[in-house]
Amino acid sequence: MLTKLPLLSFCSILLAAQLPAAVSLPAGGTEALSNEADSPAKEALTAFREGRHTKAIELAKPLAEKGNADAIYLMGYAYETGQGLEASRELALVNYRKAAATGHKDSIYRLSFILLASEDEAERSQAREALEKASKDDPAVAGRILGEAYLRGRLSKEPDFDKTVTWWTSAATAGDIPSLLLLARLHEGVFGFADKKDPKKALGYYTKAAGLGDAPSMAALGSRLLNGDKDNRNEKEGREWLKKAIDAKEYSAFLALGDFEENVKKDPKAALILYERGKDAGQVDCILRAADAYTEGKGTDKDPARGASLLENAAKAGNPTAHYRLAVKGLSAEKPDLLLGYGHLLAAATGGLPEAQNELGLLYLSGKLATADAPAGVAWLTRAAQGGLALAQNNLGALFEQGAGVPQNIANAGQLYSLAANQGHAGATLALARLLSKGSGVTADLPKAWALATLAAERGEETAKKFASDLAAKFDDKQRAKGQQDLESIKSGKPTDPKPDSSKPADSKPVKPADTKPTSTAPKPPKTPK
């Protein structure tokens, strides 16, 4: 069975990467406690944060034995992460439960994260009870986590929009700005629920967050007033909020202003001036936009050397996207510099960029690095898939379907295709239709297979139209009606997860897997996210 991601990075990833990913530790791990000047465990916590894990455990253990909650929490964290102690879920839970019993908030939250990730419904219920109790004293953080849990369907049979809104609203009412932003993103349709999309309501949440003085929220609000839904645009107010953001040293506002000039006003020269201002303030996305402008000659004469220089500067500053673009440039050249391209790709992948992780995985599988390294390739594709990249989910699904580099496992393939299809990936949508039509690793469902194939065709998969037509030719009226109903249901935003076929073992093989090949995003680099 495909291992599910632990819920250990919810909100920060959701807000920063703008992806439907897992949940984040709201208190920041050991950092929150290390700020407590009067904590007897301060020295141990500081040592742990600085990477001196063995010393930290040495200092924390006697304090934990005497019942110090901070030290017990640190022991639990060490067991959970495998830093300083051998990783052990059971011992992490033991320590977190001890500290949580004293009312230690961070232990309650980490305990809840582990339990929410469990496949045992009873453990997830324990997490819910602990969080609901914590929400009475700490409605902001506990409410935010509960909202995330309902969003992911960890406390309900399927994602629950209404309960997500209820808990995030409770947290937002308590002054939690991240929850206001999550509510805004939810109503923008970022986390699914297409039928609940409401740009005007989303704008209201951004306005509330900005009104609380949060500079990133000011930039987000200004960006949407300039570049968002046409019915809600207001150039005057948008510019005012972006000016406030810049005054508060939130320089992503220059990116929003440049985006407005480039894509709404169609004035690349004015856009470049703003990207340059952001670049001079150190705003990395503006550096990347300026590099694009000089490389492509947008708003200025073409100057590839200057564009490359800007990318190099951003890469030296550690920007993963800059490394990725340099890797793409090097590897797609007429005479590729394999080692230089590999170095940039590795830096981008290590920096957490899913597109780079996908490309690095494919590079390892290709054999171009002297020899094929399937374990390394699969590992990097897995990281990219866990990061929410639909292309990587589809690629990894193809490997599991074919048994290439991994043991063949059609159930895994189906779940990965489903994740990618839910994000609109055309190839994965068709692949899922194939599995459903054959009953390979999942319960056969011809009408749903037709619905998915039809959707894949609409998404641009060329072979999907004939596949859907061939299925429909064999349908009776009842199957035809169900297929149409399934298509409407999927389009309304409901997930496409297939039901596993319990009559077959998880790694049961189909008659013949399709010739689905992993695909690359290169050589075209991704656009800078707005």
**Residue 86 pLDDT:** 95
83-124 pLDDT, tens digit per residue, is 999 999 999 999 999 999 999 999 999 999 999 999 899 999
**Residue 68 pLDDT:** 95
By C-alpha distance, which of 454, 378, 441, 385 is closest to 412?
A: 441
313-355 pLDDT, tens digit per residue, is 999 989 999 999 999 988 988 888 899 999 999 999 999 999 9
**Residue 442 forms beta bridges with which residues?**
500
**Cis? peptide before 523, omega within 30° of 0:** yes
**Residue 492 pLDDT:** 78
Q: For residue 192, what pLDDT band results from cuts at 50, 70 and 90?
A: confident
Contact in structure between 70 and 36 (CB atoms under 8 Å): yes
392-430 pLDDT, tens digit per residue, is 999 999 999 999 989 999 989 999 999 999 889 999 999
> Is the pTM for the entire model greater than 0.75?
no
35-75 pLDDT, tens digit per residue, is 455 789 999 999 999 999 999 999 999 999 999 999 999 99
User: What distance in Å separates the CA atoms of residue 285 and residue 254, rounded to the nearest whole number?
Assistant: 10
User: What distance in Å separates the CA atoms of residue 482 and residue 468, rounded to the nearest whole number?
Assistant: 14
* 326 CB neighbour count, 10 Å cutoff: 23
450-487 pLDDT, tens digit per residue, is 999 999 999 999 999 999 999 999 999 999 999 999 89
Percentage of residues in the chain having pLDDT higher than 70: 86
Q: For residue 498, what pLDDT band results from cuts at 50, 70 and 90?
A: low
